Structure 1
């Protein structure tokens, strides 16, 4: 085997997604192990230091090997769909929360308006009652004055008739 073939085979044996963590988390770069190939029947007189390369998450595998199947691609696609659904669900929840807050605010404003209108209605009713009572007093006083005026006319008429 040549050096390039060994590297190619080792590269294909690496899992297609070596970093199980979120892409924002990075693995420590200084703790990467190095592998040395030693084989007694190796015709090469030297050992190859191989440092595995950590790949970023990519939706397509970098090489096809016996471990890569359509099931993995389906799982990856399902994972992306699930992530999309999860984001959409969170977005919908936030939208519903904002909608409830707007509805509650509108309801509070309407209750405030109801209370203000009830108070104003109460004040107007009090004012109307006072005006009505005042009107009733004026009407009563007016009828008394008319009565007195009528009595005084009678007295004046009698005085005129009785005087020579």
Structure 2
């Protein structure tokens, strides 16, 4: 490398940044050592702290902005998730309340149906008992009629047995 080429390849690894020094003082009064054309790492060291800081601060600002955007998205997502979870809990609570309301209504309805069933069962038992008593009375009355016919001096009562088949 020649020294005339040096100014063109001055900072090949970093983007060109405006310098605070005039062009005639590219390194702020620091002259390169005589062996500068042999050492590439020294080219990186030639960056002024101001330029490194500027480059780092720009990338730091970009990084901070990215981190800020990411954090803001995380925060919004967290808030959104909380709201979604709250709405979900409210829906579940509403559903649970509706189910409990149905349970209460069904228990009440079940109680009414049980009362009606017990009432019908009691009526059925009374009807069966009354029917049994009526059958016994009918049987007793038949025996009495048969006994009366046997002991009766009249023949007319015997015809009643044939006219009404239910009497036996």
User: TM above 0.5, one fold?
Assistant: yes
Separation in 2, partners of 1:100, 1:60:
47
Question: Which structure is richer in relative contact order (CA contacts within 8 A, separation 6 or more)?
Answer: 1
Runs (4+) of structure 1 exceeding 4 A deviation are none
Cα RMSD between the aligned structures?
Answer: 1.9
Separation in 2, partners of 1:60, 1:156:
126
Q: Which residue of 1 aligns with 2:36?
A: none
In structure 2, runs of 5+ residues without a counterpart are: 1-14, 22-27, 29-47, 150-168
Separation in 1, partners of 2:84, 2:117:
48
The structure having more radius of gyration, on CA atoms, is: 2
Separation in 1, partners of 2:102, 2:96:
10
Matched residues, number: 106
The C-alpha deviation readout for 1:78-132, integer Å capped at 9, x for no partner, is: 1210121012101210111011111111110111111011101210111111101
In structure 1, runs of 5+ residues without a counterpart are: 1-58
Query: Relative to total residues, which structure has the larger helix share, 1 or 2?
Result: 2
TM value normalised by structure 2: 0.58
Deviation, 1:76, is 2.2
